[in-house]
């Protein structure tokens, strides 16, 4: 169990995010259509285990999409969430 990951849903999200990150790294590294093997190689380089179901889902959802567009679309969704309050200024 990872620190800060408290629920089953949080644990599933944490596991899938590493697969998304590996996909994005592969694309940044020049792979237009990363394969599961490509992502497993990236994850193995940092001693992370790959989950085949998560890999398949990430590849299915991101395959053929422009990563910059996906990030931009996701960023607009984050704006609606607002941010936490920053502490007050120093007196």
What are the distances in angstroms from CA 88 to CA 3, 44, 81, 85, 91?
A: 28, 43, 21, 9, 9
- Which one, of 24, 29, 17, lies nearest residue 54 by Cα? 17
Residue 39 has what DSSP assignment?
Answer: H
Q: Taking 70 as the threshold, does the pLDDT of residue 66 lie above it? A: yes
Number of C-beta neighbours around residue 8 at 10 A: 8
What does the pLDDT read at residue 71?
A: 87
Write the pLDDT tens digit of every residue in 5-47: 455 555 566 568 899 999 999 999 999 999 999 999 999 999 9
Mean pLDDT, to the nearest integer, of 52-75?
Answer: 90
The 8-class DSSP code of residue 4 comes to: T
């Amino acid at each position: 169990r990872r620190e800060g990951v408290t629920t089953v849903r949080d644990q599933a999200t944490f596991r899938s995010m590493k697969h998304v990150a590996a996909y994005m790294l592969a694309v940044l590294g020049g792979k237009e259509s990363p394969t599961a093997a490509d992502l497993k190689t990236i994850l193995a380089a940092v001693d992370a285990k790959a989950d085949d179901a998560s890999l398949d889902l990430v590849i299915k959802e991101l395959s053929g999409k422009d990563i910059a567009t996906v990030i931009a679309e996701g960023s607009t969704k984050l704006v609606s969430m607002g941010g936490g309050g920053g502490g007050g200024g120093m007196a």
